[in-house]
Structure 1
Amino acid sequence: MDLDQIWNQFIGHLVDNEEISQASLKKITGIPFIYIHYSQKENEKNNLFLLIKKAASRSMRGKQLHCETIFVRQENQLFVFRHRFYVPQQKMFCCGNLCPDCILFRS
């Protein structure tokens, strides 16, 4: 799985939205930040979180990935978020609850 391809799809899905005029990714000391120019005034942060979540889910479709988005700052219509995609850790032992991803079911 190539995370660069997923990041490119994610940024593409963000830019495809008509409310977002520009979106870019910057890595600062290895931590990915997304810079978004958002044109709406009302319910800015909540609506933008929803748009980011939708774009991320479209990019992650069919892959075993999770994402995390944390608001950093806002300056006029520029929003900065710390966003990362990560692969979930697999279980290394059986907890006894017969989870669907239990190590006992692996072949």
Structure 2
Amino acid sequence: MDLDHIWHQFIDHLLDNDEITEVSVKKFTGIPFIYIHYHSLKTDEGLLFFIIKKAASHSMRGKQLHCETIFVRQEDDVYVFRHRFFVPQKKMFCCGNLCPDCILFRS
């Protein structure tokens, strides 16, 4: 699975929103951070977080991916989030706790 393609789709979906003027991704120690220039009449972090989740879900559609978005900081109109796409890990052994996703229950 090519995550670069997912990232490009994600950024394109973010830029489709009229209130977002610029998006950039920078990696520090291997962790991707997205810098979003967000101009809105009311500065609502919750609305921007919803826009990010919606764009991520559109870019992940049809693939076995999850995403994690964590707010880091805001300076004027620039919002910084730690955002990553990851493949969910499946259990490879039985731990004996009768977990709902136990490999013993797979057919």
TM-score above 0.5: yes
Instruction: Write the distance in 2 (CA, Å) between the matches of 1:102 and 1:21.
Output: 46
1:48 is matched with which residue? Answer: 48
What SS does structure 1 have at the residue aligned with 2:59?
Answer: helix
TM-fit CA distance, 1:83: 0.3
May I ask how many residue pairs the two structures share in their alignment? 104
Between the aligned partners of 1:34 and 1:41, the Cα distance in structure 2 is 21
Gaps of 5+ in 1: none
Match of 1:73, SS state, is: strand
Output the TM-score relative to the length of structure 2.
Answer: 0.88
The residue type equivalent to 2:88 in the other structure is P
Distance 1:9 1:27 in 2: 18
Structure 2, unaligned runs of 5 or more: none
Counterpart Cα distance in 2 of 1:72 and 1:65: 22
Q: Shift of residue 77 of structure 1?
A: 0.6
Shift of 1:96: 3.4
Is the deviation greater in 34-43 or in 1-10?
34-43
1:4 and 2:7 equivalent?
no
Indicate the residue corresponding to 1:86 in structure 2. 86
Q: How does 1:11-90 map to 2 (within 5 A)?
A: 11-90=11-90
User: Percent identity at matched positions?
Assistant: 67
In 1, the alpha carbon distance for the partners of 2:52 and 2:82 equals 11
Aligned alpha-carbon RMSD (Å) = 1.5
